[in-house]
Every structure is written in C-alpha cells, then in structure tokens.
Chain A
Amino acid sequence: MSDRILTVEGLEVSLPVPSGTLNAVQGVSFHVDRGETVCIVGESGCGKSLTALAIMDLLPRRARRVARTLTLLGDPLIGVPETKMADLRGNRMGMIFQEPMTSLNPAYTIGNQLEEALLRHRKVPRAKARERAVHLLERVGITAAGQRLRQYPHQLSGGLRQRVMIAMALMTGPDLIIADEPTTALDVTIQAQILHLLAELQREFHMGLVLITHDLGVVARIATRVVVMYAGQVVETGTAAEVFGAPRHPYTRGLLDCIPIPGKTKRGEHLGTIPGMVPSLVGQMEGCHFAGRCNYVIDECRAAPIPLVSAPGRGHAVRCIRADELSRQPAAAEEGAA
C-alpha cells in the first residue's frame, strides 16, 4: 500500500436548522496519499467546506459529525478528546481558508502569528521559529520577509495575507494541507499564481493536498484525483484524466460544459450554466439528488438511493444508474436530450 495520509469513509455532517435537520454531507468518502493533490469541486452549498471543517474537527458547535473511518496517518480524527485533536491540528494537518482578509488576527504581528504556529507544537527557541518564518515567507514569494514579520495584517494586501496563511500552515511541516477555495476572494490576476504555488509546495514538501476550488482549469492541471460533489454526496471521482477526459456523470459533464475553452469560447459570450435549482438538503431525499436537473432522468432514478459504483478494476466511480449506457453513446444521448 502506498503512503496513505488521509482516509475519509462515510463522512456525514448534519446541522439543526429551523425547518429540521440539514444533511449537508451524506456519506462522503475519499483518500489522500502522500504527494497527491485531491481536488474537491462542486457548486456552492454542496458541502465542500463542511467536509473540510469536519476533517479538521472545526465544525460549528451544533453540527453533528459521523464517519465510518476518519484517519490521519492511521490516527483516528473522530471520537478522540479535544486535547488530542488540538495536538494534530496545525501540526500534522493545516488548513488555509477562503477569507484571507479576516483570517489573521488584526492585533498581532505577522511574525507573532507565524511563530506561534510552530511554538505551539515544537520545543524550539523563538529565534528558531522566527528563522523558519522568514524562510517560509520567502518561499511563498514574499520579499523583505524580515520586515514583514513586524507588520500587522492590515498593512498587507489580500494576496500577501493569503501567502502568509500558506506559510503559517507550513510552519510545522504538516503531512496534509486542506485549502478551502484559497483564491476565491483574491484578484483574478493572482488566483492562478497562488494555486500554482500551492501545487509546487505540495511537491516540494511531499505532502498531501486537499484543494477545494471552482477553477476547473487549474484542477485539470494539478489534480491527482478529483472528487465531484453534488448536494452533499460524491457523484463522481477518479483521476483527473478519467474525470476530465471521460466524465460519466451528467452533472460532471454539465460542469465541464461551463468552463470557457480558450479559442473556442468567444470573449463576452455567455457561459453555460446548469439550469435548475439545487435540492434542499433538509430532511431525507429519495433517489438521485440530481434528478430534478438531469436531462436523462427516468423513473428508476427517483425510486431508490443511487450507489456510487466503481468501474471494474479502476478508481473511477460514478453515482448514476445510466452512466454505462450514456457513456457508450455520449454524443447521441446529448443531442437526444437537448
């Protein structure tokens, strides 16, 4: 077996809401090996952030978290006391958030916050921690790192703050980094830079990286494996080549149709979106979650829960009862339905 860093099996997250129970994450499974970049994609609200927070055990207090297996390097992340979790958090696994502008404490210097991340988990002198902070700031592309340490977050731009957050997550040399839409709040011009920096660091530090992003173009280039989520479930997963080269779930195809293709999509042309609404996640749902928006829906789709089925002998799995027949004649089906 390869060097397994993260195993997630049957992860469920639910939240009490006024109208009942919101089943935000419903049996999500995936794994990350050392040196892999696993990308989670899917529309807003499909449960990507809650999946990430559940792994870190940083969910809102009233959220309920259940899993068959949830382990980091073989150590369980569920059912362990908070003190034990806190020892792992920021140590063996780090997280980078979507909001760089508000994710740093305005009252402390960059240096203080970077050093703190290492000092919490390692018995090293402060000077050593500072040295590492400077080294990592330089590594993530911040110039005059020594001076930056004395600056406060409000003196830095959003892009710089996100680089600081990345450096902070790297302070202890973690085995796993979870980045939840790390570039959504940033200027378009630096989004790609940051994502490529993350991919580079992942290789250099030989970590596992879970990257949640909307940028399918970047996913296609840096992902080892892709997890496509829809309404709380994994609907398709496989290597980047499998999922992008031969998408099998109607939702994945819809997503891919939304990407502007350089040269093909004319400037200013309206981008495709999948018509229809995401179903409510409150309460139990019968059958395929995508049925309400699927062009290929048949009665059986709504009859029973649809299992996630792997193609024989491969990791490529899909949650659609018509996947086989659809991928045999994709073009015809596409036209017939349109």
Chain B
Amino acid sequence: MAIFALKRLGVALLVALTVSLITFSMNYLSGDPAITIAGEGARIEDIENIRRYYGFDRPILVQYWDWLWNALHGDLGRSYSLRVPVADVIFERLPTTMLLGACAITFGLTLAIPLGVLAAVKPNSFFDRLALTLAVVGQAMPTFWFGLTLILVFGVMLRWLPITGQASWWNFVMPAVALGYNVAPAVMRLTRAGMLEVLASDYIRTARAKGLRPMKVLFKHALRNAVIPVVALAAVQFGFMLGGSIVIETIFQINGLGYLAWESIQRKDLPMMQAIVLILSIIYVVITFLADMLNAFLDPRIRVT
C-alpha cells in the first residue's frame, strides 16, 4: 500500500510539474508578453522597460525556475489590473469555490449513486425509468441553461431562494444543484451498469448461499465493488465541474475562483489567469490522487500494481 501511494504521489508530482510548465508558457501564448502588457501604441522604449521590469529579457529556463520558485513560496506575481499580489486574491476566493465544489459533488453523488443502485436492483422499475429520464435530461441540458432555469423558477417565480450573492447557505443551493446535476448522469449510469454486473457475479451468489440478508449482500458485497470505477469517474467529473464553476459563479455572482477567472479574462490579467489555471489544475491533481487512494482502499487488487 505504501509503495502504491508513493508511486501515485510521484505521478501526481510529475503531472503538477507539467501543469506548471504549461501554465508558465501561457506567458508566451499571445506572442511577446511585454508588448501585450504595454498595450497598443506603446513606444519601443516603454516596451523595453517593461521587458526588463518583468524580467522577460532573461533566458527562458531562468524565468521558469524563478517563477516556479516564487510560486512554491506563495508568490504568484502581481495582478496587472488590481495591482495587488495575485496570491492574496486567489486565497481569498479559493474557499468559496471549494465550498461550492464540495456542495455540488455531494449533491451530484447523493443523487446519482442511490438512484443508480435502485435502478440496478429493480431493473425496468419506476426508479429505473426515473433514473434514465434524469440522466437523459441532465446530459442534454447545458449547465448555464439549467442555472438560468433554476433562477427563473425558484428565484423569480416562486421566490424560494435568493438569486445572487453569497450572503447565506441558501445562496449556494441553486449553484450547487446546477453544477452538481451535471455530474449525475454519467455517475448514475456507471453505478447502474456496475451494480448490474456485480449483482450477477459469482461472489454475490456465494454471499447469498451463506444466508446473508439482502441488505448485507447489497451494501457489503455488491456496492463496494460496483463503486470502484465510479470513484475514478467522479474525480474526472469533478475536474469538469471546476471548469463549469466559471459559468455558474458568473451567473450567480458568487465571488469564487470561477468568477475571478471570468473577470480576469475580461481584463486580460495574465498573471491572475495563470494562477487560477495553476491552482485549479493542482486541485484536480490532488483530487485524482485522493481518488486513487480511495480506490486502492476499496480494491485490494489495485494495491499491488
């Protein structure tokens, strides 16, 4: 188990390093960064000054090393537009996004997994059809459209929930539902398929031959094996959700990283965008690592590889 964890950690670090390299190269994505910063109609001397000020004149590897070293020490540069350290803004906004993400994935999984299980235990039943309907609808509906529909119905027409801001927990209900619903269809279908396969397996027959009660057979012997592939999928879906938070936070005016990303794109604030991409990627790498660990716990066969 320890060896497996170390290996996975090594892979995670490598991925993180690659991500940092890609993020760093965003500097040069739109050509000469000094010209971009100086803006249109700038004089040659100004551009040269900016180049020296930001250190764009040094060898590229030295720049990367410097950038990485600073990033590791919590210095992600200064925002072009807000004139404050990027890290300060990021860490102020990060908890909001993490909270939203946690609520959303919790909602998505608590909707998808039980429904998937029920659909598999009673195929072609009412639950199976309900699950299928929700899955089809969920897959066909874009996140932003679903978010707007929620606002229209629960915010404007019924006035049950606050529409924008983050004054209370109630503010998180609609965005979490809109974001989490997106992950449900795939998770639900994989849970159903996995559960159907596991329930038909020989070891479930063995469990029944021992006289175990149906609930024990279902939860101890079947579910644990059926959710193994779901864990990996949920991690991937969480990644998509981080991307989706840009749209949802903007619609619901939630001051998280997603909204910040949207603002930064509009202001062409490169260091800020860079930092957001880096942080979201690192979060994704961490989540994937945790999912690997959870899977290794669930499935002893994984641990040896």
Q: Enumerate chain A interface residues (CB-CB to B < 8 A).
A: 56, 58, 82-83, 86-91, 94-95, 97, 99, 102-108, 116-117, 120-121, 152, 154, 165, 168
In addition to A97-B206, A105-B206, 10 A-B residue pairs with Cβ atoms within 8 Å of each other are: A56-B209, A58-B205, A86-B213, A89-B211, A94-B210, A95-B209, A97-B202, A105-B203, A117-B210, A154-B301
Given A102-B201, A103-B206, A106-B301, answer yes or no on A88-B225 (Cβ-Cβ < 8 Å). Answer: no
Is B208's beta carbon under 8 Å from chain A? Answer: yes
> Bound state CA distance, A86 and B209, in angstroms?
8
Is B224's beta carbon under 8 Å from chain A? Answer: yes
Given A152-B300, A152-B301, answer yes or no on A86-B205 (Cβ-Cβ < 8 Å). Answer: no
> Bound state CA distance, A83 and B213, in angstroms?
8
A165: min CB distance to chain B, Å? 8
Q: Is the CB of B211 within 8 A of A88?
A: yes
Q: Is the CB of B203 within 8 A of A154?
A: no
Q: Please name the residue on chain B nearest to A92 by beta carbon.
A: B211
User: Which residues of the other chain, A, contact B224 by a CB distance below 8 angstroms?
Assistant: 107
Given A102-B202, A105-B221, answer yes or no on A91-B211 (Cβ-Cβ < 8 Å). Answer: yes
Given A58-B208, A89-B208, A99-B202, answer yes or no on A107-B299 (Cβ-Cβ < 8 Å). Answer: yes
Q: Is the CB of B300 within 8 A of A154?
A: yes
A107: min CB distance to chain B, Å? 5
> Bound state CA distance, A180 and B252, in angstroms?
62
> Bound state CA distance, A106 and B301, in angstroms?
8
Is B9's beta carbon under 8 Å from chain A? Answer: no
B220: min CB distance to chain A, Å? 8
B232: min CB distance to chain A, Å? 16
A210: min CB distance to chain B, Å? 14
User: Which residues of the other chain, A, contact B207 by a CB distance below 8 angstroms?
Assistant: 105
Q: Is the CB of B201 within 8 A of A90?
A: no
Q: Please name the residue on chain A nearest to B222 by beta carbon.
A: A105
Q: Is the CB of A103 within 8 A of B205?
A: yes
- Of A88, A90, A104, most buried by chain B (CB within 10 Å of CB) is A90
Interface size on B, residues (CB 8 A): 21
Q: Is the CB of B225 within 8 A of A120?
A: no
A56: min CB distance to chain B, Å? 6
- The proximity string for B residues 12-56 relative to A, scoring 1 for CB distances below 8 Å and 0 otherwise, is 000000000000000000000000000000000000000000000
> Bound state CA distance, A104 and B301, in angstroms?
13
Is B218's beta carbon under 8 Å from chain A? Answer: no
Question: Which residues 220-264 of B sit at the A interface, judged by CB distance below 8 A?
Answer: 221, 224-225
User: Which residues of the other chain, B, contact A90 by a CB distance below 8 angstroms?
Assistant: 209-212
User: Which residues of the other chain, A, contact B201 by a CB distance below 8 angstroms?
Assistant: 102
User: Which residues of the other chain, B, contact A91 by a CB distance below 8 angstroms?
Assistant: 211
Enumerate 29 A-B pairs (CB-CB under 8 Å) in ascending A order: A58-B205, A58-B209, A86-B211, A87-B211, A88-B211, A89-B208, A89-B210, A89-B211, A90-B210, A90-B211, A90-B212, A94-B209, A97-B202, A97-B205, A102-B203, A103-B202, A103-B203, A105-B206, A106-B225, A106-B299, A106-B300, A107-B224, A107-B225, A107-B300, A116-B210, A117-B210, A120-B216, A168-B206, A168-B210
> Bound state CA distance, A57 and B209, in angstroms?
9
Is B71's beta carbon under 8 Å from chain A? Answer: no
User: Which residues of the other chain, A, contact B209 by a CB distance below 8 angstroms?
Assistant: 56, 58, 89-90, 94-95, 97
Is B293's beta carbon under 8 Å from chain A? Answer: no
> Bound state CA distance, A91 and B300, in angstroms?
29
Is B298's beta carbon under 8 Å from chain A? Answer: yes
A290: min CB distance to chain B, Å? 31
Q: Is the CB of B211 within 8 A of A121?
A: yes
Q: Please name the residue on chain B nearest to A82 by beta carbon.
A: B214
> Bound state CA distance, A106 and B201, in angstroms?
11
- Of B201, B207, B211, B221, most buried by chain A (CB within 10 Å of CB) is B211
> Bound state CA distance, A152 and B212, in angstroms?
20
Q: Is the CB of A104 within 8 A of B211?
A: no
> Bound state CA distance, A168 and B207, in angstroms?
11
> Bound state CA distance, A133 and B193, in angstroms?
34
Q: Please name the residue on chain A nearest to B209 by beta carbon.
A: A95
User: Which residues of the other chain, A, contact B225 by a CB distance below 8 angstroms?
Assistant: 105-107
User: Which residues of the other chain, A, contact B300 by a CB distance below 8 angstroms?
Assistant: 106-107, 152, 154
User: Which residues of the other chain, A, contact B299 by a CB distance below 8 angstroms?
Assistant: 106-107
A77: min CB distance to chain B, Å? 13
- The proximity string for B residues 269-305 relative to A, scoring 1 for CB distances below 8 Å and 0 otherwise, is 0000000000000000000000000000011110000
Given A105-B225, A152-B300, A154-B301, answer yes or no on A116-B212 (Cβ-Cβ < 8 Å). Answer: yes
> Bound state CA distance, A3 and B202, in angstroms?
33
> Bound state CA distance, A103 and B299, in angstroms?
16
> Bound state CA distance, A95 and B202, in angstroms?
12
User: Which residues of the other chain, A, contact B202 by a CB distance below 8 angstroms?
Assistant: 97, 99, 102-103
Q: Please name the residue on chain B nearest to A121 by beta carbon.
A: B211
Q: Please name the residue on chain B nearest to A101 by beta carbon.
A: B202
> Bound state CA distance, A258 and B240, in angstroms?
63
Given A86-B212, A120-B211, A168-B210, answer yes or no on A104-B203 (Cβ-Cβ < 8 Å). Answer: yes
Q: Is the CB of B211 within 8 A of A106?
A: no
User: Which residues of the other chain, B, contact A89 by a CB distance below 8 angstroms?
Assistant: 208-211
User: Which residues of the other chain, B, contact A103 by a CB distance below 8 angstroms?
Assistant: 202-203, 205-206
Q: Please name the residue on chain A nearest to B297 by beta carbon.
A: A107
Q: Is the CB of B298 within 8 A of A107?
A: yes
B89: min CB distance to chain A, Å? 45
B296: min CB distance to chain A, Å? 12
> Bound state CA distance, A89 and B225, in angstroms?
23
User: Which residues of the other chain, B, contact A58 by a CB distance below 8 angstroms?
Assistant: 205, 208-209
> Bound state CA distance, A107 and B302, in angstroms?
10
A97: min CB distance to chain B, Å? 6
A89: min CB distance to chain B, Å? 4
B51: min CB distance to chain A, Å? 59
> Bound state CA distance, A165 and B208, in angstroms?
14
Q: Is the CB of A104 within 8 A of B206?
A: yes
